[in-house]
Amino acid sequence: MARFILRRLGFMVLTVILASVVIFWATTVLPGDVATMVLGRFATDKAKTELRQELGLDRPVAVQYVNWLGAYVRGDWGTSPSMDAAVRPVVAERLRNSLMLAFVAFAMYVPLGILLGLIAALRKNTWADNLISVGSLAFIGLPEFVSGLILIAIFSIQLGWFPSQSAIDPSSTFVEAFPYLILPAITVALTSLAYVVRMTRSSTVDVLQMDYVRTANLKGLPPRRVLFTHVLRNSLLPTITVVAIGIGWLIGGLIITESLFSYPGIGRLLLFAIQRRDLVLIQATALLIVIIYVVANLVADILYAVLNPRIRYQ
């Protein structure tokens, strides 16, 4: 088990390093000159050259990359030219907000998805199954900016239950932010719901056909007991993996929803950074999203191994 985790950790570090190369390369080849952006179009060439020297932009790209990554690892994420502030505290605060949003969404779609998936599997090929499968698929196909707008139109404009915009103060507490989180959370949950439903359904359908479920039934156990003791334990394993990977996907995928609701999370921060061509901010935010994604995958792998005795005791 320790070997397994170490191996996975190794892969994880490798993935992050590769991603950091891509991020750094992509941001340096973006059109636009940093010095011009910072100092304005009318700055003298001399001032620009001095600034470039100061920022280390005159050195070879490889050296710049190593310096950047080294500073990142040490916790020095640089200063954002567009916000004129240290990057790390800003990113950290926004990440916290995104995690709050993700948490609320998560608490909505995971239990519901598992429940619907189970119903679909147990009522396989009936109208209930078809309704759940088609319904959840429809939400996958529906982009967030459409479903989000529909939700705003119904729940905030028509019914007036929730605020239509979530442009809260970035440092709000969870309780303060909660009412503003509901609509964006539903928007996010709707797109992720279908994955959980489909995964739960297909793995439960598989497990229901297993010989050991037949054994459990023919032991004369009540159906409820067969379901909870023998089916769920095995059928939820792959679902847990999907859910854990989904957390990473969720954080990275909040850009549209956060922008739509003007919610101060990491996705919106990234969008802001891109619009302002704030390379320092883009690099820091993008790499952080990569790290979150990779960690979520690692957690998924470890969870699967821990929950599955066949892997645990190999």
Output the smallest distance, CB 301 to other proteins, in A: 17
Residue 15 Ramachandran class (φ > 0 left, ψ -120 to 50 alpha, else beta): alpha
> CB 53: neighbour CB atoms within 10 A?
12
Q: Does 310 help bind other proteins (rule: CB under 8 A)?
A: yes
Output the smallest distance, CB 135 to other proteins, in A: 24
Tokens 């892969």 appear where? Answer: 11
The secondary structure of 112-136 as a DSSP string is: HHHHHHHHHHHTTTSHHHHHHHHHH
Tell which one of 55, 87, 177, 216 touches other proteins (CB under 8 A): 216
Output the smallest distance, CB 313 to other proteins, in A: 6
CB 292 within 8 A of CB 251: yes
Find residue 79's DSSP bridge partners. 86
- The token pair at 133 is 């499968």
Tell which one of 130, 138, 178, 219 touches other proteins (CB under 8 A): 219
Q: Which is nearer to other proteins, 28 or 217 (CB)?
A: 217
Piece of 25-33, 80-88, 213-221, 278-286 that binds other proteins (CB under 8 A): 213-221
**What is the distance, to the nearest Å, from the Cα of residue 2 to the centroid of all Cα atoms in its chain?**
27
> Contacts with other proteins in 224-263 (CB under 8 A)?
229-230, 233-234
Output the smallest distance, CB 205 to other proteins, in A: 12
Q: Does 205 help bind other proteins (rule: CB under 8 A)?
A: no
CA atoms 51, 57, 58, 59: torsion sign: positive
Tell which one of 31, 60, 75, 309 touches other proteins (CB under 8 A): 309
Given the rule CB under 8 A, which residues bind other proteins?
A: 3, 210-212, 214-222, 229-230, 233-234, 307-310, 313
